[in-house]
Structure 1
Amino acid sequence: MKITPARPDDVAKLLVFREEAAAWLTRLGSDQWQRPYPADRLLATIEAGSVFMVMDGDVTAATITLTPEAEEGLWTEPELREPSTFVTKLTVARTHAGQNLGGRLLDWAGDRAYRAGAKWLRLDAWTTNEALQRYYLRQGFAYVRTVREGGAVNGGPRVSGWLAQRPTEPADHGFEDNT
């Protein structure tokens, strides 16, 4: 399997990929990702070079977004002064579930962040998705805190404010890295 940067013509494919993940989460009883993701925001992150895809032949097996910028209101000023890479939208196709693809992709992200000089690989997860939170803890992340206020709409409740981090380090992730 190889990792490649997403291209602008991948927007439609990645939106469907996210819709499939949202439907799966709904079947599990989660309210995560129930609002459609805006295509223009996805295109902007692709054009910024932040979106990556794991390809298994011609099939998109997983995707991840990496950025040096944190979502506003989540991390403290002292934390923001530490060089970090932020993981968002990690998604694995159901056809590729159970193969530790997400764990390997997090290792790839930590390796990439390490090589870029970041100290931390950080993320925020859905506050009500305890299974996802446990997954990240099993992947070596340490819980930092949960931010419940200051959501994007009118400063209301935040739905994705469970914060975790792990140190970056070199990793043998096993992907062909075409980034």
Structure 2
Amino acid sequence: MKICPAEPHDVAKLLAFREEAAAWLSQLGTDQWQRPYPADKLLATIESGHVFMLQDGHMTAATITLTPDAEEGLWTEDELREPCMFVNKLTVGREYGGQNIGGRLLDWAGDRAHRAGAKWLRLDAWTANEALQRYYLAQGFTHVRTVSEGTAVNGGPRVSGWLAQREARPSVHDFHDLTPAPARLPFAA
């Protein structure tokens, strides 16, 4: 399998991929990702070079967003002074479930973050999805805190405020990495 940057023409494919994941999550009894993701926001993230796709031949096996940009209102100013990168929208195709693709993508992200000079690989997860939280804990993340104040775009409570982190570190993920070298973070040592 190869990992490569997503391109603007991948927007429709990635939105469909997310819809598939939302349907699966709904079957599991969670409301995570039930609101459609804005195509223009996804396109902007792709154009910034932060969205990556794991390809198995012509099939998309998974996708991950890895960015130096924190979602507003989640992390403290002191935490944001530490060099870190953030994982978002990790999604594995259902036909690839149970193969540790997500764990290997997290290892790839931690390795890439380390090469960028990050100390931490951080994420925020759906506050009500306890199974997802247990998954991240099993992947070596430590729960930092849960942020419930603040509001979501639609005026409701924050739904993705379970914060976790693990050290960014070199890792073997066994993917053929076709991504460009990561840019060094501003606070990197």
Q: TM-score range by the shorter chain?
A: over 0.9
Q: State the identity as a percent.
A: 78
User: Structure 2: 5+ residue runs without aligned partners?
Assistant: 180-189
**Cα 1:89–1:79 shift into 2, 3 Å:** same
Work out whether residues 45 and 51 of structure 2, in 8 Å CA contact, stay in contact via their aligned partners in 1: yes
Structure 2 residue aligned with 1:111: 111
- SS of 1:53's equivalent in the other structure is strand
The CA deviation at 1:154 is 7.2
Q: Which amino acid aligns with 2:53?
A: M
Work out whether residues 123 and 165 of structure 2, in 8 Å CA contact, stay in contact via their aligned partners in 1: yes
Work out whether residues 149 and 156 of structure 1, in 8 Å CA contact, stay in contact via their aligned partners in 2: no
Q: Which amino acid aligns with 2:55?
A: M
- SS of 1:144's equivalent in the other structure is strand
User: Structure 1: 5+ residue runs without aligned partners?
Assistant: none
Deviation by residue 1:17-37 (Cα, 9 ceiling, x = unmatched)? 000000000000000001000
Structure 1 residue aligned with 2:96: 96
The CA deviation at 1:156 is 4.5
Q: Which amino acid aligns with 1:122?
A: R
Work out whether residues 152 and 159 of structure 2, in 8 Å CA contact, stay in contact via their aligned partners in 1: no
Structure 2 residue aligned with 1:122: 122
Work out whether residues 65 and 88 of structure 2, in 8 Å CA contact, stay in contact via their aligned partners in 1: yes
Kindly report which structure 2 residues correspond to 1:1-179, keeping only aligned pairs within 5 A, or say none.
1-153=1-153, 156-179=156-179
Aligned equivalents of 1:118, 1:9: Cα separation in 2: 30
Aligned equivalents of 2:59, 2:10: Cα separation in 1: 12
Q: TM-score, normalised by structure 1?
A: 0.98
Q: Which amino acid aligns with 2:157?
A: P
Aligned equivalents of 1:150, 1:129: Cα separation in 2: 19
Q: TM-score, normalised by structure 2?
A: 0.93
Aligned equivalents of 1:57, 1:47: Cα separation in 2: 23
Aligned equivalents of 1:104, 1:61: Cα separation in 2: 12
Aligned equivalents of 1:67, 1:101: Cα separation in 2: 19
Pairwise CA RMSD of aligned residues?
0.9
The CA deviation at 1:157 is 1.2
